[in-house]
Amino acid sequence: MRRGISWALGAQLAAGVLGMAVAAETSGPEKNKEVGAVFQAGKHYKEIAPPQPVTGTGIEVLEVFWYGCPHCYDFEPTLARWQARQPEDVAFRRLPAVFRPSWYLHAKAYYTAEALGVLDKIHAPLFKALHVDKKTLDDEASLADFFAGFGVDKNEFSQVFNSFTVEGKVEQAKQAIQRFGIDGVPAVVVNGKYLTSGSMAGSYDAVLAVVDFLVARERETRATQAPAGSSGSAQGAPSNPTPP
């Protein structure tokens, strides 16, 4: 949602471009050039200027989301299937968006879960609690109760939730989103260089088809930049860390 974006469900476009993207993955650079003729900068994705640093050496795919966003919730199953088929050189990460004060608590909840080592347990159920069970998780007390259902001590939750570390990560996330030029969620950033979303690509499947195309482009770039005798899988990635 663009501070409430409307997702157009371009099913015909999604089917066509997704098929081409899969073909590009299996057929290499020449096929990816054909996909590139369909996916246009400024239309299906935009280039981030200047490119932002990424974490680690993999090709980073960064989902920007908000737990309260119904489009983000709907995107999750498609995104999970996409994640399951990614090779080792793709590094998937998430970044909680903070466009409004009400989003701030959910971003803190994300980083609290991460710090407590329960993010895998909490992430999908938190979406479900908000969008299916219609729970109101809009203050520290209600979030503490929710986390307690997953074995997290309420006092420990509060200590981490209000810690300097979590507050700092939320501020860094806000700054990163500004640098990326993101104004709605869900959005996906590829390797700090490209941004796409449903409003640009046309559907959830089309977003990930664009992502696959851009990942393949980054992979080709690394291969051409790699020194002789190197696989190139870790070449060309900025060493500076991005915000959490």
pLDDT tens, 159-216? 999 999 999 999 999 999 999 999 999 999 999 999 999 999 999 999 999 999 999 9
Residue 137 domain flag: yes
Mean pLDDT (the chain, rounded): 85
Residue 14 domain flag: no
Residue 239 domain flag: no
Res 145 pLDDT > 60:
yes
Residue 107 domain flag: yes
Looking at residue 55, its pLDDT comes to 87
Q: What is the pTM of this model?
A: 0.81
CATH number for the domain that contains residue 171: 3.40.30.10
Mean pLDDT (whole number) for 26-33:
52
Residue 233 domain flag: no
Residue 213 domain flag: no
Count of domains observed in the chain: 1
Mean pLDDT (whole number) for 121-136:
97
How far apart CA 18 and CA 205 sit, in angstroms, is 7
Looking at residue 243, its pLDDT comes to 55
Weakest-pLDDT range from 19-28, 63-72, 167-176, 207-216: 19-28
- Cα–Cα–Cα angle for 17, 237, 214, rounded to 5 degrees: 5
Residue 212 domain flag: no
Residue 4 domain flag: no
Looking at residue 101, its pLDDT comes to 86
Res 29 pLDDT > 80:
no
Res 34 pLDDT > 90:
no
Answer for the pair 183, 51: CB distance below 8 angstroms, yes or no: no
Res 139 pLDDT > 70:
yes
Residue-range definition of the domain harbouring residue 118: 42-199
Mean pLDDT (whole number) for 90-102:
95
Weakest-pLDDT range from 14-18, 56-60, 231-235: 231-235
Looking at residue 32, its pLDDT comes to 55
